[in-house]
Amino acid sequence: MQRFLRNPQQERWEFQLRLKALWGLIITLCVLLLARLVWLQVISHGYYHTLAEANRISIVPIVPNRGLILDRKGTVLAENNYTYDLEINPARNKNLDHLIDQLSELVTITSSDRKLFRKALDETHGLSPVPIRNRLSETEIARFAVNRYQFPGVDIQARLIRDYPLGTSASHLIGYIGRINEADQERLDDAGLTDEYRGTNHIGKLGIEGHYEHELHGVTGSEQVETDASGRGVRSLSRIDPTAGDDLFLTVDAGLQQAAEKAFGDHRGALVAIEPGTGDILAFVSEPGFDPNLFVEGIDQDNWNALNNSPDKPLNNRALRGLYPPGSTVKPFMALAALTLGKRTTAYKISDPGYFSFPGSSHRYRDWRPNGHGMVDMHLSIVQSCDTYYYGLANDLGIDAMHDFFSEFGFGQKTGIDIDGEMSGLYPSTEWKQKRYKQDWYGGETVISGIGQGYILTTPLQLAQAVATLANNGVMMKPHLVHAIRDRATGSVREIPPENERTLPLKQSDIDFVRDAMEDVMKPGGTAAQAGAGAPYLIAGKTGTAQVVGVRQGEKYNEGRTSERNRDHALFIAFAPADKPRIAVAVLVENGGHGGSTAAPIARKVFDYYLLGRGVTPVPDNSDAGDDSAHD
Amino acid sequence: MPTIKELRQRFLAPLDPTLFNTCLILTALGLIVQYSASGSDLAKVLSQMRNLGFAFAAMWVMAVTPPYKIERVVFPVYAIALVALVAVALFGEVSHGARRWLHLGPMRLQPSELMKIALPLALAGYFEWRGKAISWRDFVVAAVLLLIPVALVIRQPDLGTALLIASSGFYVLYFAGLSWKVMGGLLTAGLASLPLVWHLLHDYQRKRILTLLDPTQDPLGAGYHTLQSMIALGSGGLVGKGWLQGTQSHLDFLPEHTTDFVFAVFGEEFGLLGELVFLVAMLVIITRGFFIANEGSTPFARLVAGALSMTLFTYTFVNMGMVSGILPVVGVPLPFLSYGGTSLVTLFISIGILMSVHHHRKLVKQ
């Protein structure tokens, strides 16, 4: 080699030899290629000609049946049902307008049906049958069947459609499927699932349907079909069966879910019920709901406008994404913080004049009871929800210590629930305010944070997790909605074990003290005595009120004078039985006024349903709990 | 004052008639088949003509530039292509599971395409620079220069393009006199390490190779392309179904039918005879390239002309082999017929360099 470039003559000769050798290789490869082409195009031409022309082969994807969604007892929440469409084969009908006019005498055909038909016709170039009407009623099927002989080239086609038998119930939790749009398609392409979704028209968009799309979809099969010139299948050549999607068993109890939804009546709001020991979500309510069936085939403009423009915002998942000040429901956690951090003893008493103010300042942070609660210790501060007590406590704790303690309970953080779009809420700190507003923290902001006002925002789901953690003696479980997954092919059921998030460093005696006070909230003299009256089990609860509009210094909030949408939000957190908790709830009623009067009775109905069975004892209308009991 | 005739002479002289006329024929074929493959979409044909405008301009610029001037920029070009490949790895656009595209303002570039010609140029430049003192060490250095971009492209992941880049670089080593014994050894080692390579492949790459052995195994996924293109070619027969008469492509059975699988449309409509015309025209260009390589005035000119001609053949063979089902599916455009700007410009730059080597064959470096 060394020799080679030194001698130009030798070098030229060697280069030429190498060119010739490669040229020989090129010719050999070309002959090989030609042989292949001759084999394809001359020898096997007949075979491929038949495949392509007389009988075209098409490879038809076989879409797997989507997995079912069931509640923890097996009640079906989402299933697949047959629906019947009327299809016209344009190749066999010349005068389509006349034909459609004739058909409209048998089945209802609206002008929007005609428009959709025209659009689909343009897209398929008249090569394949096009639907003129979807979802025929049984009478329409019967009427067409009798007159079918008059309409060659018009057929009834059966197909499976996703159905949500409970309608608006649990809609925010189940979510829905809808047609695959461009954004979905791009995501599928990037995930390498293009082939897998060939033939699939729908994809999970929200809720369980969206989060568990992978499990629910299944594996697409395929069939090689010989088709005639018009694209009609003649015979099947080979088939790879699809695998149906997995069935999902939810932690939710559909009966409890519906009882909770019913308990809301006409109120807007949210409720999350959790089994404290496992993190199983028993009910997940956001009222009002919507009918997910509307979305499956693509929602029409009128229905969309009705849902989207409604002032009640039914599409808003309040339990997952609604952000509300927690109000006085933070007080049990504040008390725990004070005990844990050693800032208060249980016996320490304050004298409440009905307001708190900083020394030397005339600004008054008012208690809800204008003349105050008198001498107040920690127990009474929870039972009567004394604001003044917590103004002072917050001032002593400081916002950063409060931030750290509440973060342990999950405030300001996503719970990691298994549906998408969760909001993380907010628990402020000096560092946060500096970052967000480039401003120093003010003492007054700490004071109002002590009663759950100010910057603090929580989702109902977060509140439910926090109270469930309290009920579970400080062991935080990750809330989840899917309890088990059933493989449709093998029938085997895989349970999803509860996940232990963390164990909070709390003293059992402190927890017991707070629980004891929360039990008394439900008894005469407590803020939710009405809702607690007559319960054959122990409830531990705490009411709360969240301001929607601020009330100026020296003015008084007057419910009667405030327009309905500006009224306070009512909140309530509770668990029961208090001595051995099986269920913990957070309830939020938008513009519901006081937690004790609107939110707590909803929780009571949920507890009764869950703990006593379907025979629900009525909540007494009148009780002797005192004038203040309805207040917070 | 030069006369019109002299101007024409000066303008056209560098354009080797054999190469130029064959290119014109192939370009015409390309536009004809693009019109059909795009479903009579004139806009697509016009867009390809705009690409051709750039491509012919690039060819002319290369043709009038003497090889010794080209030689001066080969290392910077190689470096730029390398930087672009690294940029793709860092912030390239992901499409179909691979990171291949780079956005530069309004342009979308595939740096791996640029590397297909930057690498052979750089290697030829290296051997020219080493002059008469070539030893086995130089081949090791060249191999390193070759393996860096190849490794980057493998990581995209785009194994097909990586192999093509590797081959275009390897041809330079081959023409520079890499010993037959070493090549024999590499071949043996390559065959022996096949099981290891198999282990390192991505699932979809393995699937493509398995599918090659039996396309009917996975007709919906990896086998779909091959099966459909074989049906298209086979049903075209000896003389084809006629222009615009192909059914497989027009009924959307055939995927990627304006780019990588355009040969299936061509074969379906023009048959075996049409394919022969195309193949012969390609052989004319490649053979002409070999003659030009043989008469090149410097080692650089010879190595570049030989390697670029051979690379041209490699594309043609790999694409046709893939469409006719004897090679696995790799993303390789077919020269002259496939739609696409970057690949067209690199193709005509190669042709332009061949023309330059020919036109300046008597010019000896100062």
End-of-domain residue from the set A192, A226, A250? A250
Inter-chain contacts counted by CB atoms under 8 A, chains A and B = 137
Active-site choice (A328, A429, A449, A629): A328
Does the CB of B248 have a partner CB in chain A at under 8 Å? yes
pLDDT-derived band at A302 (thresholds 50, 70, 90) equals: confident
Active site residue A429: no
A222 and A85 together in one domain: yes
Separation of alpha carbons A543 and A518, rounded Å:
10
Q: Residue A522 falls within a domain, yes or no?
A: yes
**Environment class of residue A484 by beta-carbon count within 10 Å: exposed (0-12), middle (13-18) or buried (19+)?**
middle
Q: Residue A2 falls within a domain, yes or no?
A: no
Residue A298: per-residue pLDDT = 78
AA letter at B168: S
Cis, peptide link before residue B215, omega less than 30° from 0? no
Q: What do you get for the CA distance between the two ends of chain A, in Å?
A: 97
pLDDT-derived band at A304 (thresholds 50, 70, 90) equals: confident
Nearest-by-CA chain A residue for B139: A1
Please provide residue B126's backbone torsions phi and psi, each rounded to the nearest 5 degrees.
-65, -45
Are the C-beta atoms of B9 and B348 separated by less than 8 Å? no
Chain B hits for A6, CB-CB cut-off 8 Å, are 132
Instruction: For residue B283, give the nearest of A30, A44, A198 by CB distance.
Output: A30
A464 and A560 together in one domain: yes
Mind listing the pLDDT tens digit for each residue in B52-78? 999 999 999 999 999 999 999 999 999
What are the percentages of helix, strand and coil residues in chain A, rounded to 5?
40, 20, 40
Are the C-beta atoms of B244 and B269 separated by less than 8 Å? yes
Mind listing the pLDDT tens digit for each residue in A353-366? 889 988 888 888 98
Mean pLDDT, residues B280-284: 96
A21 and A118 together in one domain: no
Separation of alpha carbons A630 and A553, rounded Å:
24
Separation of alpha carbons A61 and B218, rounded Å:
12
A273 and A232 together in one domain: no
Kindly write down the DSSP assignment for every residue of B277-296, as one continuous string: HHHHHHHHHHHHHHHHHHT-
pLDDT-derived band at A387 (thresholds 50, 70, 90) equals: very high
Q: Is pLDDT of A98 > 50?
A: yes
Mean pLDDT, residues B309-330: 90
**CB within 8 Å of B88: residues ≥ 6 apart:** B99, B100, B101, B102, B111, B112, B152, B156
Separation of alpha carbons A607 and A271, rounded Å:
12
Q: Shortest CA distance to B311 belongs to which of B162, B22, B149, B116?
A: B116
A87 and A213 together in one domain: yes
A290 and A432 together in one domain: yes
State the CATH number of the domain containing residue A306: 3.40.710.10
In percent, how much of chain B has pLDDT > 70? 87
Instruction: For residue A26, give the nearest of B238, B294, B313 by CB distance.
Output: B313
Chain A hits for B290, CB-CB cut-off 8 Å, are 19, 22-23
Lowest mean pLDDT, pick from A106-110, A350-354, B27-31, B108-112? B108-112
Separation of alpha carbons A161 and A176, rounded Å:
12
Kindly write down the DSSP assignment for every residue of A358-413, as one continuous string: -TT----EE-SSTT--EEE-HHHHHHTT-HHHHHHHHHHH-HHHHHHHHHHTTTTS
Nearest-by-CA chain A residue for B319: A33
Longest alpha-carbon distance in chain A:
119
Q: b/e string for A105-118 if b means 16 or more Cβ within 10 A?
A: ebbebeeebbebbe
Q: Is pLDDT of A262 > 80?
A: yes
Q: How many CA atoms lie within 13 A of A34 on its CB side?
A: 13
pLDDT-derived band at B249 (thresholds 50, 70, 90) equals: low
Range with top average pLDDT, A65-74, A178-187, B222-231: A65-74
A222 and A259 together in one domain: no
Mind listing the pLDDT tens digit for each residue in A200-227? 888 999 999 999 999 999 988 888 776 6
Separation of alpha carbons A540 and A415, rounded Å:
23
Q: Is pLDDT of B21 > 70?
A: yes
**CB within 8 Å of A360: residues ≥ 6 apart:** none
Nearest-by-CA chain B residue for A11: B177
Mark yes or no for CB contact A36/B325 under 8 Å: yes
Mean pLDDT, residues A545-565: 65
Lowest mean pLDDT, pick from A58-72, A316-330, B280-294? A58-72
Residue A561: per-residue pLDDT = 58
**Cβ within 8 Å of A, B 95-154:** 95-97, 131-132, 134-136
Average pLDDT, chain B: 85
Mind listing the pLDDT tens digit for each residue in A577-625? 999 999 999 999 998 877 778 899 999 999 999 999 754 444 444 443 3
Q: Shortest CA distance to A192 belongs to which of B96, B158, B329?
A: B96
Instruction: For residue A224, give the nearest of B175, B219, B234 by CB distance.
Output: B219
Q: Residue A528 falls within a domain, yes or no?
A: yes
**Cβ within 8 Å of A, B 176-205:** 177-179, 204
Pairing of strands A365-366, A583-589: unpaired
The whole-angstrom distance between A90's CA and the closest CA on chain B is: 17
**A161 lies in which domain range?**
60-250
Chain A hits for B232, CB-CB cut-off 8 Å, are 52
Residue B132: per-residue pLDDT = 72
Q: Is pLDDT of A556 > 70?
A: no
Are the C-beta atoms of A266 and A149 separated by less than 8 Å? no
Lowest mean pLDDT, pick from A147-161, A172-186, B97-111? B97-111
Mark yes or no for CB contact A45/B235 under 8 Å: yes
Residue A395: per-residue pLDDT = 92
Lowest mean pLDDT, pick from A96-105, B57-66, B278-287? A96-105
Separation of alpha carbons A432 and A424, rounded Å:
14
Q: Name the residue with tokens 């016996």.
A: A347
A139 and A154 together in one domain: yes
AA letter at B33: V
End-of-domain residue from the set A250, A275, A290? A250
The whole-angstrom distance between A179's CA and the closest CA on chain B is: 22
Please name every residue paired with A239 in a beta bridge, in sequence order, or none if there are none: A223
Longest alpha-carbon distance in chain B:
71
Mind listing the pLDDT tens digit for each residue in A391-409? 999 999 999 999 999 999 9
Q: Shortest CA distance to B28 belongs to which of B59, B56, B1?
A: B56
Average pLDDT, chain A: 86
Q: Is pLDDT of A626 > 50?
A: no
Instruction: For residue B97, give the nearest of A5, A16, A190 by CB distance.
Output: A190
Range with top average pLDDT, A75-79, B109-113, B226-230: A75-79
Q: Shortest CA distance to B220 belongs to which of A197, A179, A66, A53?
A: A197
In percent, how much of chain A has pLDDT > 70? 90
Does the CB of B306 have a partner CB in chain A at under 8 Å? yes
A225 and A268 together in one domain: no
A270 and A311 together in one domain: yes
Mean pLDDT, residues B32-47: 87
Lowest mean pLDDT, pick from A333-337, A471-475, B115-119? B115-119
Residue A618: per-residue pLDDT = 46
Mean pLDDT, residues A22-27: 94
Which tokens hold the place of B28? 């015409």
Overall domain count for chain A? 3
State the CATH number of the domain containing residue A112: 3.90.1310.10
Mind listing the pLDDT tens digit for each residue in A117-170? 887 777 666 666 788 888 888 888 888 888 888 888 888 888 888 999 998 999
Kindly write down the DSSP assignment for every residue of B72-105, as one continuous string: HHHHHHHHHHHHHHHHHHHHPEEETTEEEEEEET
Lowest mean pLDDT, pick from A74-78, A261-265, B66-70, B340-344? B340-344
Q: Residue A50 falls within a domain, yes or no?
A: no
A136 and A161 together in one domain: yes
**Environment class of residue B107 by beta-carbon count within 10 Å: exposed (0-12), middle (13-18) or buried (19+)?**
exposed
A264 and A200 together in one domain: no
Q: Where are the beta strands (DSSP E) in chain B?
A: 93-95, 98-104, 107-109
The CA-based dihedral angle spanning residues B27, B28, B33, B34, taken in that order and rounded to the nearest 10 degrees: 60
Separation of alpha carbons A355 and A346, rounded Å:
21
Nearest-by-CA chain A residue for B93: A190
Domain ranges for chain B: 13-359
Instruction: For residue A5, give the nearest of B134, B251, B290 by CB distance.
Output: B134
Separation of alpha carbons A526 and A533, rounded Å:
11
* Alpha-carbon distance values, B252 to A533, B46, B92 (Å): 71, 22, 30
